[in-house]
Structure 1
Amino acid sequence: MSKCTAFILSKTEIITNAHCVAGAPYVYVVAGTKVASDENQKIKIKVEKENIAWHPHYSRLIFGAFDIAKVTLKTPLEFSDTVGSIELVDKDYKLNDPSEVVTAYGYGVLNNIGPMILRRCDANYISDANTSKLSQTLYFTTGEARNDGKIITPGDSGGPVVSKTNGKIVGIIVGINGTGDGRGAFLPITLFLDFIRDPKSVKSLPPPLAPNEAKFIADIMAPAKFVTAYKPDYDDADEDLELKFNAIILSKTEILTCAHNVHGASYVYVIVNKLSSNPTKIKVTKDQIEIHQKYALSGFAFDVAKITLKEPLQFNDNVGSIDLVDKNYKLNDPSELVTVYGDMTLDGTMRTRRYDTKYLNGAICKPEYGAAFDANHLMCYTLDESMGTPFTFGGPIISKKNNKLVGMTIFRSRGKPVIFQPIASLLN
């Protein structure tokens, strides 16, 4: 049974990390003890899963993402000299003064062994500039390293980060980000006040698509050990491993995807009817894969590949094609809505969804990506990261106006707009 830290908001409200409780049929809440591993705890309350709520946008696959949960006690705690509550900062509070000292509390262990003794550590904090500017930001504790050279240690997850200035909770510990210097990572609590007040008030994700809603989307399964724009990532890859990407069905024999999804692969599998219980998996060899001749590993433009199937697909209610816009179509109305389709990871699993967004012209996106971004051939769209982290590369972008394919998702870097390739210029 794993153990995490938590903090008491009221006699019936306990806050901890989602990764500490998500999926558990029950948990125990232990209060009023200095040693968490003490078997003689005076207060130990069993809480069933119906009284455990974790943030609907939490993802096990993304470190720190919406990693918060609320446990509601049926029987109120008895407050005493060793059991009490602590206040949260209000919604207008900003973590924007790096000279401010915060105190992290937790039952973390030293040297990865017990006992789990309640400790505290003062530190300053810094923002992680690489995280999302839209929905959440990770902060790392700094200052003199303690706890055997680490600010945060195993077991501290879910613990409170308290301001030395006002004595209120400003963050929740989510763990160690593997930075090498042992910095602890925490989320600002102000981002989750609505969830803490009422977990049901937070909007859930759009539901996963049904097979017939995604009939024109395919998947590409490629061997992990192949040359891509990120070749170093795969140098030691397991040859039996497969990577999954999105693709688009253009006709019974034509599949469209990103060049970087298939570049260098001796074969790939095309999977259609991907959302059904009986998908079709077709092996395609490299002689059936054509990559745009202007595609370069060093950039994002012309990142498109066409796969030609030897045997035509059988179209049905769950497998079909999508129409292309014509060559004169221009994406020149920033108020126009487009629908992005593809795999999104947020609730701990990868599911195929869609969401509407507006697009931006290339000139706006270029400063975000620099020389690798060709503003003459690429555009981007904004992403509300509360909708999840997209693994949509190769997925379709469809106009809400004419219901035709206008673009294909190419790439994203966390906290930046998502790059896409307009289709009209690629029709030839």
Structure 2
Amino acid sequence: MSQAKFVAGIYTPARYLYAFKDNLTDADREMQSTCTAFILSKTEIITNAHCVAGAPYAFVVAGTKVASDENQKIKIKVEKENIAWHPYYSHLIVGAFDIAKLTLKTPLEFSDTVGSIKLVDKDYKLNNSSEVVTVYGYGVLNRPMILRRCDANYISDVERAITFNPVQTLYFTTGEATNDGKIITHGDSGGPIVSKTNGKIVGIAVGINGTTGGRGMFLPIALFLDFIHDPKSVKPLPPSLTFNEAKFIADIVVPGKFLTAFEDSYANADEDDQMLFNAIILSETEILTCAHNVLGAPYVYVIVNKLSSNATELKVTKDQIEIHEKYSLSGFAFDVAKITLKERLEFNENVGSIDLVDKNYKLNDPSEIVSVYGDMTLDGTARTRRFDTKYLDGAICKSKLGAAFDANNLMCYTLDESMGTPSTFGGPMISKKNNKLVGMTIFRFPDEPVIFQPIAPLLDWIRKPRVRRNQRRRI
């Protein structure tokens, strides 16, 4: 234990845990869930949220090589009010913000077998795949639950992080364990990932991923230092909007197999494999969304008043969809489409439009606050939310996003990951100053600002009458 004196064990009654209670049999309800943790100080213990979320209490054991021993010398009960898990944690999304902090009322007594470990700094980057990390845990490979460690390399998995949007970048351990068993297994959850280079915590184990050959998953600890030092410092979730607050937002439901922008990803999809995007209600007959949301689709469904039980769903065919003539799949500028409805929407207190800014309106005040609306999955389900942010001018966006960014026609806004990220695009950006539509969310790259299309330069195109092909005449 002198080699791993910073490792602790966590016991909680499984029947209370959000992550397990729905899947327990009657025989399992008295089962104790066991996880690993690490000691940050005499009163601070860090583990996974899924190990404690929902539990009325937890037991922390320390200074022990065998966590399953009933006669622990150090076994401290922690009540619910002293257990804080990340406010964005959801048991519905694997790995999402899966971290918790337990505060001990009775401080630990440090000794040769009980001690703490330091964390890396906030700016620490896991960017060297040849670096070796050591994984510690009380995994249940066998009984009794004996503390193990093994060395491994890691890899970043950016694509999987996007899939679990908006989960911070997950990392996976690679290679073979240096002793018996797998790198990470059940019971190792919450265990520390320690750099062999600097001897500090660089990650926290969150589970196993079957699609990567059973590799262990962990989150970089540097992303959670604010929460660890003060759980209350994490900003509250953006509010889930009421019917009236979201009345100018529509959804676009599209069969993915037809979308030109996603044809490689959906090559083997069928028509039931649908994608969901946001859109903006401009009038009783006009809907605005991104071009890439609808390009190639023979039909889409427009859904309004989606937050109520009286949602309206309208089928729109290709001839009702107009793509901006300057839009190209090779870039992001002019990524806008207008849908003209044949059946007029019935406006009421839950369905309405948003006013547009004037043609000469300029987004040139970096202190201006804009409200971003969109579907976000912070708490495990896609809810329509809004958050306030500031925007950056085109030159700054260009410096951050590189050659793919058209600074003449696009802008971007700053993003606080903790406040959430729109998971669907085509949602409105509304000025807090005049309560009018100033932009539309287009796209984002991982760990980069979000690209948006300013509305003012598009007003002529948006307002021009819809001309059907069979109505065109030569002069």
Q: Is the 8 A contact 2:47 2:99 kept in 1?
A: yes
- Rounded to whole Å, the distance in 2 between the matches of 1:292 and 1:232 is 23
Note closer, same or farther for the CA distance 1:177–1:293 as it changes in structure 2 (3 Å cut): farther
Distance 2:450 2:376 in 1: 13
- Letter of the 1:417 partner, please give it: P
Letter in 1 for 2:134: T
Q: Displacement, 1:417?
A: 0.9
Distance of aligned partners of 1:220 and 1:136 in 2 relative to their CA distance in 1, 3 Å threshold = closer
Contact conserved, 2:120 with 2:201, CA < 8 A, in 1?
A: no
Aligned AA for 1:57?
Answer: Y
Write the distance in 2 (CA, Å) between the matches of 1:96 and 1:47. Answer: 33
Kindly provide the CA deviation profile for residues 176-222 of structure 1, in whole angstroms up to 9, marking residues without a partner as x.
Answer: 67896976553344544553455444322122111111111111111
- Structure with higher helix content: 2
TM-score normalized by the length of structure 1: 0.81
Question: Which of 444, 453, 464 is the aligned partner of 1:412?
Answer: 444
**Root mean square deviation, CA, Å:** 3.9
Identity of aligned residues (%): 73
Q: 2:147 aligns with which of 115, 118, 136?
A: 118
Cα deviations by residue, 1:250-302 (Å, 9 ceiling, x for unpaired): 00111100111111112111111122233211121212111112222221111
Corresponding residue number in structure 2 for 1:215:
247
1:103 aligned to 2:134? Answer: yes
Structure 2 distance, partners of 1:28, 1:364, is 48
Matched, 1:315 2:347: yes
Q: Given the alignment, which residue of 64, 85, 88 partners 1:54?
A: 85
Deviates more, 1:277-286 or 1:58-67: 58-67
112, 116, 141: which one aligns with 1:86? 116
Do the aligned partners of residues 167 and 373 (structure 1) sit closer, same or farther apart at CA in structure 2, a change above 3 Å counting? closer
Q: 1:129 to 1:251 in 2, by over 3 A?
A: closer
CA deviations on 1:63-103 (whole Å, 9 max, x unpaired) are 644220235789x7998999855344386795679697642
- Cα 1:143–1:422 shift into 2, 3 Å: same
Aligned twin of 1:358? 390
For residues 261-410 of structure 1, what are the structure 2 equivalents within 5 Å?
A: 261-410=293-442
- Would you say the 8 A contact 2:411–2:453 is kept in 1? yes
Deviation larger for 2-11 or 312-321: 2-11
Match of 1:17 in 2: 48
Give the greater-gyration-radius structure (CA).
2
SS in 2 for 1:232: coil
C-alpha contact 2:84 2:102 (8 A) present in aligned 1? yes
Larger relative contact order (C-alpha < 8 A, sep ≥ 6)? 1
Q: Name the CA distance, whole Å, in 1 between partners of 2:270 and 2:52.
A: 32
> Could you say if the C-alpha distance between residues 77 and 366 of structure 1 is closer, same or farther in structure 2, counting changes exceeding 3 Å?
closer
Give the 3 Å change call, closer, same or farther, for CA 352–202 of structure 1 in structure 2.
Answer: same
**Structure 2: unaligned runs, 5 residues or longer:** 1-13, 15-19, 21-32, 462-475
In 1: Cα distance, 2:173 partner to 2:371 partner? 39
Q: 2:357 is matched by which residue type in structure 1?
A: V
Per mean C-alpha deviation after superposition, the further-off stretch among 406-415 and 83-92 is 83-92
